[in-house]
Amino acid sequence: MQQITQTDPLSHSANIVDQNIAQLKQLFPEVFKEGKIDFEELQATLGEHIDLENERFNFTWNGKSQARREAQKPSTGTLRPCPEESVDWDNTQNLYIEGDNLEVLKILQKSYHQKVKMIYIDPPYNTGKDFVYKDNYKDNLSNYLELTGQKDADGKKLSTNSDASGRYHSNWLNMMYPRLKLARNLLKDDGIISIHIDEHEYSNLEKILNEIFGEENNIGTIIWDKRNPKGDAKGIAYQHEQIVFFAKNKNLFSSKNDFKRPKENALKIIQKAKKIIQKEGLVNENIRKQFKNWLKVQAFSGGEKAYSFIDDNGEVFQSVSMAWPNKKQAPSDYKIPLIHPLTQKKCPVPEKGWRNPSKTMNKLLEDDMIIFGHDEITQPRKKYLLKENMYENVPSLLYYGGSDDKILKTLDVFFDTPKVVQVAQKIMIPIINKQDIILDFFAGSSTTAHAVMELNKNDNGKRKYIMVQLPEPINENHKAYSEGYRFITEISKKRIINASKKIAEENPEKAKELDLGFKVFKLDSSNIKTWDPDAENLEQELFDAIDNIKKNRTEKDILFEIILKYGIDLTVPITEHKIDQTNVFNVGLGALFICLNDTITVAVAEGIASLKEKLDPAMCRVVFKDNGFADSAIKTNVMQKLKQHGITEVRSI
């Protein structure tokens, strides 16, 4: 039985460098010599794609190399479960994580790699007043634990980045760069990231996104007109912000029309047509007449009124010409006559030919997409189905004035400049499907979570959210402080709770099917003590090596650390079994069994084997507490018993 030691890959988060090397080795195995990369061989392999010029297009700043290395450095931290602060812990699929988002993003690398459809964030705008996360490249986790109160060792405030600083923009870029690098790994291949920003760092944000995501994956930028100009006597009074969109892979994203939304008029026409057909039965002349009469009294814009026909399948369409659109004559293959289905005579071909070649025309005939006249004299036309042409691109201008101050007041929470729920929904609707995960690692007041719940309420969706927020202290002069709030995370969680209660009160029947809960986790150091042979108190270190679990850490703490290290979803089903008076956790219907008891016996192994046979998982792994075995003989017998039942991956901590 192999123990999970400090150097084991399971003792820390995903190693980004190792993953990159593995991918490079798969693509170019010839460039690896004795385990090292031969850069001369790599250059030769890449040929003309290597830029050897001293001067080249590049975006750099002071600290960029360190920021890149920080993104690659694994975390030894963990997320500790807090069921007492959660809502509907046993059933919810939503997560609320308290902690520095840099460390949290590292910890989530295994469990949520390529699982998130949308990342939607509203980071600090770097106005000189907003909070900037101060990273410590030596030990960022220890840095977080020390600075949760926003004070350094000398008691200096760390919550602002003054524009008087010589590295004003560099500080912001160093904060954003590693977080965006890590965030990209969590996106699905057809995923997208959306970021709110204003004029202070917009240009710099776009540059680092071009580098991290690739300039070819820039979807575009929406201008949000807030209709509330900033007073500026010397310059332009901005009344807008930008919302930047980048895809992980633009080709995969756009091919599904994910970034388009249905036209309201088009939806209205289709819904009306369905109602008429349901009332009358099969499509007939009476239905066609009713539909046209209804269209006459509508005030449609944008050409939807042209869709005034219904075919025998109940599809709404308009008829369009199939004539060759260019000035020059079409090739001969574009001039083959169509045969009228009733008269069996040739229909007239347009003067310069058809728009499509004969192969395409035959496919249109096969799919009943060509409209013929009463006889062959009328030139055939093509059906243009409304259901296939009812989508429009999201406009580059978004108008929404005001704020959500009134909404927050009704929810009994207080927060400065939150994202607007209605704007958040407009951004999400064309992007995320009903089952997708959305991540916000600058959660603030949890507008994103609120918007997800509202969307699910509107269309019975099952969207899930992951909120990440630093427990930043609230200023004593702030309204929220006088109301009893001490950290932003308290405001954030309270908003979700009160918003979900409001949804449930106003929609009692719908609420029964909605996920209005969330699991709370908090960033902390590992539950496992580290071995330090150079420690001043070597005697204590030796005792720690025997009992290597930290004090005040629970079985659930260790359970979820193991789940994270194995790369399992934090919301996966977990059941608890009592085997030989010992707790055994069954994670993911038999994918992983964890026993952290101090008295592990062969009977426990037999019970685990029995559960495995019953559940029949595709893969089964077992983790024990290493000092839970009375002696090596019992450990060996446990291993043998599990091996007899096909369980070979057994580890201990």
Mean confidence (pLDDT) of the chain? 88
Report, as an integer, the average pLDDT of 318-337. Answer: 93
| Residue 432: CB atoms within 10 Å | 23
Q: Name the more confident of 69 and 267.
A: 69
SS (H, E, C) 26-83: HHCHHHEECCEECHHHHHHHHHHHCCCCCCCCCCCCCCHHHHHHHHHCCCCCEEEECH
Output Rg (C-alpha) for the chain, integer angstroms. 31
Report, as an integer, the average pLDDT of 80-107. Answer: 97
- Asked if residue 529 has pLDDT above 80, the reply is yes
Alpha carbons 368 and 311: distance in angstroms, whole number: 10
Q: Name the more confident of 22 and 302.
A: 22
Burial degree of 255 (CB within 10 A; 0-12, 13-18, 19+): exposed
Closest CA to 140 of 97, 101, 111: 101
Report, as an integer, the average pLDDT of 19-37. Answer: 82
| Residue 120: CB atoms within 10 Å | 26
Name the residue with tokens 């979807």: 219
Span of 8-17, 431-440, 555-564, 597-606 with lowest mean pLDDT? 8-17
pLDDT in tens, 102-144: 999 999 999 999 999 999 999 999 887 665 566 666 667 777 7
566 phi and psi, to 5 degrees? -85, -5
* Tokens (6 digits) for 334: 């574009």
Q: What does the pLDDT read at residue 12?
A: 75
Span of 42-46, 335-339, 636-640 with lowest mean pLDDT? 42-46
Rounded to 10 deg, the angle between the 16-27 and 64-72 helix axes is: 90
pLDDT in tens, 531-579: 544 445 545 544 555 578 888 899 999 999 999 999 999 999 999 999 9
The pTM is what?
0.80
Beta strands in 284-380 (DSSP E): 309-310, 316-320, 370-371
Report, as an integer, the average pLDDT of 626-640. Answer: 92
| Residues 588/568, Cβ–Cβ less than 8 Å | yes
For β-strands 574-579 and 582-587, DSSP reports them as antiparallel
Band of pLDDT at residue 602, cut at 50, 70 and 90: very high
Q: What does the pLDDT read at residue 327?
A: 87
Report, as an integer, the average pLDDT of 360-384. Answer: 95
- Asked if residue 58 has pLDDT above 60, the reply is yes
- Asked if residue 599 has pLDDT above 50, the reply is yes
| Residue 636: CB atoms within 10 Å | 12
Query: Running DSSP on this structure, what letter comes out for residue 580?
Result: T
- Asked if residue 156 has pLDDT above 50, the reply is no
Query: Running DSSP on this structure, what letter comes out for residue 530?
Result: P
Q: What does the pLDDT read at residue 279?
A: 87
Closest CA to 473 of 488, 456, 452, 493: 488
Topology given in CATH for the domain delimited by 71-223+404-524: Rossmann fold (3.40.50)
- Asked if residue 405 has pLDDT above 90, the reply is no
**Ranges of each domain in the chain:** 2-58, 71-223+404-524, 262-391, 538-652
- Residue 465 pairs in a beta bridge with 438
Closest CA to 250 of 201, 204, 187: 187
Residues in the chain, how many?
653
pLDDT in tens, 272-296: 899 989 888 889 889 988 888 888 8
Alpha carbons 528 and 545: distance in angstroms, whole number: 10
